[in-house]
Each structure stands twice: as C-alpha cells, then as structure tokens.
Amino acid sequence: MPRGAAPASLRDHQQTLPVVTTPASALPTIIQGGMGVSISNWRLARTVSQLGQLGVVSGTALDQVLARRLQDGDPGGHMRRGLDAFPDRAMAERVRDTYYIAGGRAPTQSYKEVPIQAIDNPRELVELCVVANFVEVYLAREGHDGRVGINYLEKIQIPHLHSLYGAMLAGVDYVLMGAGIPLRIPGVLDRLAQHEPVTYPIVVTGARPDDDVSVRFDPAVVAIEHRAPLPRPSFLAIIASDVLAQTLYRRATGRVDGFVVEGPTAGGHNAPPRGKLQLTESGEPQYGERDRVDLDRLRAIGLPFWLAGGYGTPEGVLEARKAGAAGVQVGTAFAFCAESGMRADYRRALLQQVIEGSARVFTDPSASPTGFPFKVVQLAGTVSDPVTYDARPRICDLGFLREAYRQEDGSVGYRCPAEPVNVYASKGGDTAATVGRKCICNALIAAAGHPQVRAGRHVEPAIITGGDDLVGITRFLRPGATDYTAADVIDTLLGASHATV
C-alpha cells in the first residue's frame, strides 16, 4: 500500500530525525511498548519507527479516542487526513459526520456517547472501530519505511476482529497481544489477510459447555474496490510464563512469530503472582522465584523473544542480548518522553517529581477491574489520590473491561466491579470484588487528555500508570535538561550495545 506524503507540519518534524533504513527482515532491538489508551499514539510510534526501531501504537479504545479527537476539532487535521486515506470513502465520511466538530466542542460540553462494545455491536460501532484502527496505523506509518506494530489486550475481546482488520488495511507490520491467551489470533490474522469472514469466541462467566458465544466479522462490510490479499502481520505474544509460550507455540491457530517476556516491574497491568496472593508490607503483590520465566525453556522453542520490565537501560539491552533475546520491549521510558500521548501537565509534573526524587509507583492489587495488579503512579488530583477517588461517583459508560456473564435466561449480560456497587450486585457480582476498584477506562482516556465532562462541570479524573523504572528516567535527560525525546531514549539504550554486541 502506498504511503501518504507527509504534510508540511510533519515534514518539519521529520527533518530533525535521522533517516534510518532497517532491512524489513531484521528484527528490531527495541520495541516501544503499546501503552495505555493513546499513550503510545501514532506520533510516538512514528518517531520510533523512523529511528529504525519498532514503534507500536496502542490499539486499546481507539474507537473512543478517534471520536474524541474529532470532537476536539482535530487540531492539525491529522485524523481527517487519516480518514481521507480510508479505502471505503462513505464509511469514513459517516464517522467524520458523526463526530467531527469544527473548532472543537466547548470545554464544558460532554463528549458524545459512543455505544459500549457488546457482542451484538451496532454497525455504527463496528465501522468506527475499523476506521479508528486504520487511522492510527496509517498515521504512524506515514511518510517513512519503518515498521509499525499495534498492541491489544486479549481480555478486551469484543473489538478484536474489526480492530485487526482496520489495522491490517493500513498495513500494520506487527500485532502484539498480552493480558490473556491469544490462541486464536494468529489464525484470525491469516484469514483477514485474505479478507475472509472471521469469528472470535468470547469468555462468558457461567457459560454452559454447549453455549457458543462468538463475535463475527465479515470484511465485506468495508467496500473496497480491489481486494488484493493484505500482508499478514507478524504476531508477538506478550507472556509472563514459559508454559504459556509453549502452549501458544503448539496450539495457536496459526503462526506465532515471537514472544515478549514481561516481568512484574513493567508499567500497566502485571500478570498476577503464581499461587496464593501474598502482599508486601506496603500492600503490593509479592513476586518470587516461581514467577521467573525459564529462559532456557523459552530459548528451546526457537522463536525470537524480547525481554520487558526494567530493561530500559543500556545494560538491560546488553543483558537481554546476552540471554539470547533479539532485544527489549521498553515502556516507561517512552511513556514519559516528549512524543508520548500522556497529558502534558501530568507528564511534566511527574518528570519534575522524578528529578526531585519524590516520584512513587504503587502496584495496586485491586485498582483494575480485571483483577490483575496494576501499576499506579502517585499523583495528586488523579485517582491515585484517595480524596479524588472518593469524590468520583461510580459510573460505567465506556465498558471495555466489563465481564460478560450468562444471565438466567441464557442471554449474555455485562458487569464491571468498578460500576455502582448495587448495580454490580444486582447482576450477581460479589460486592467484595468492588472494593478499591477504579474505573480505569475513564481514567486512562483522561490521562491522554480526553476526559469526559459530566453536567458541564464534573471532569473525569485520570490515572497514570508507569513501571518501577519511572524513578530511573533521569538517565535520558541531557545535563541541565528537564525533558527528553524518544531519540534520547534510543540513543541511550543503543549506545552501549552498538559498541559491544
């Protein structure tokens, strides 16, 4: 697929970056992790790709992200440029007509409600998802030959099929997926590359063995003139256990191309520790020997792998390469660099705290509705602050992390332990599971600068996630500087390994 020529604003930016040509067959040494909702946005991924490493956009909640960026007036016109490149013109126009507000909505105006992802999604939402995933990847790939990946959480199952198709229409090179067991994704990629209809089974709590609850998607809903086969992206599974890697290698429905091995110091969600949950004195999950991935067993599989979680240092890159890894996946260092999608005031406040030595990350065992430990950076005014958390009425209106469950009549219902407690209980949920839960759907999109505004004045608070490595990001600051770029991260990480490996 031909790539668009970069517009003036991007061309200016491009001139500041060295042009790096990496052979398509070479594996990247650095994967910039897919992060949060729009922390790894197209700008960050594009910058990293232009620097010869693998830039990855976050595929989480892109439907909401595109809808909100358009309602914010699409400064710079990037979303509209992406929409213009979408092969089904009428579909792209429907999205634009529904959400775009010239000049942007008033700051007190609520964002339009986008339907919540459900097994029987309305066509409008399927279209928004396909288009949004296309636009993010298209922009990340625009005007250069570097490779671009997209990252999804397996647990957010319902939008997978239409999201993947949108990303593949834009020519995504890699799909990365963690937070679940993505056995069926490789086969889905094979079929979507041929524009064939696909299904994805949804985990439904309480389902009977003969229940078949699947999402279906037929690429024919997108009107494309010449349906030539699409390149099949490489698939990397993000894992925290060599047993899971073996399972994926043996039983996946198609080719797995490699693994990202993520340890418990990584930002975002962490795999829970093996066995019974034990907490440290500070109330964080305790990890031990059993949580270590056996790299001998992983190497024996013979596929390339990358190490993640505290590897954002030159020594980390060297250590990973010595352990037989192709390289490292790095998140925190990129989440706080200038090209990150994090709201600028949060990013700067936290950089300042890191410089002063007061930044703190808490691995919260109960914040995430998924039940997985979630790393929460402590920052006043965000939901890490008990006052802010308590002041927020429980509302569930984005619903990405809802659990599908079988209702008495056999139909599928949805519930989230962060929704109002009585509502959750009325759906058969255990009220004990609601304690300390945070609406990370609303909070993560707020962290990217698109908080919902309710009744003209209640602004959704953010949540910031980052890895334990947050305290070490001063290593990327040049003397006297208070900010750094993605290029600073890559230069720092590769400086030593270029010399020695």
Ligand X SMILES: Cc1cc2nc3c(=O)[nH]c(=O)nc-3n(C[C@H](O)[C@H](O)[C@H](O)COP(=O)(O)O)c2cc1C
Cα separation, 228 vs 345, in Å, equals 45
Is residue 159 near ligand X by the rule CB under 6 A?
A: no
Residue list 298-317, contact with ligand X (CB under 6 A): 308-310, 312
CA distance readout (Å), 226 to 171, 195, 220, 361: 15, 11, 12, 50
Contacts 24+ apart (CB under 8 A), 421-425: 421/394, 423/396
Cα separation, 53 vs 169, in Å, equals 22
The maximal CA–CA distance of the chain, rounded, in angstroms, is 65
Number of chain positions touching ligand X (CB under 6 A)? 30
Is residue 268 near ligand X by the rule CB under 6 A?
A: yes
Is residue 185 near ligand X by the rule CB under 6 A?
A: no
Is residue 55 near ligand X by the rule CB under 6 A?
A: no
Nearer to ligand X, 230 or 446 (CB): 446
Cα separation, 71 vs 104, in Å, equals 6
Helix 160-169 / helix 123-141 crossing angle, nearest 10 deg: 40
Residue list 397-416, contact with ligand X (CB under 6 A): none
- Cβ neighbours around 36 below 10 Å, total: 29
User: Are 240 and 262 within 8 A, CB to CB?
Assistant: yes
Nearer to ligand X, 88 or 154 (CB): 154
Nearest to 368 by CA among 277, 458, 244, 271: 271
Is residue 41 near ligand X by the rule CB under 6 A?
A: no
The closest residue (CB) to ligand X is 331
Nearer to ligand X, 219 or 331 (CB): 331
- Contact with ligand X (CB under 6 A): which of 180, 314, 331, 373? 331
Question: Shortest Cβ distance from residue 309 to ligand X (Å)?
Answer: 4
Stretch that binds ligand X, among 32-40, 129-137, 214-222, 408-416 (CB under 6 A): 32-40
SS3 label, residue 33: coil
Is residue 58 near ligand X by the rule CB under 6 A?
A: yes
Is residue 373 near ligand X by the rule CB under 6 A?
A: no
Nearer to ligand X, 145 or 315 (CB): 315
Cα separation, 123 vs 493, in Å, equals 45
Residue list 227-266, contact with ligand X (CB under 6 A): 238, 262, 265-266
Question: Shortest Cβ distance from residue 330 to ligand X (Å)?
Answer: 4
Residue ranges binding ligand X (CB under 6 A) = 33-36, 39, 58, 60, 151, 153, 178, 238, 262, 265-268, 308-310, 312, 329-333, 335, 465-467, 469
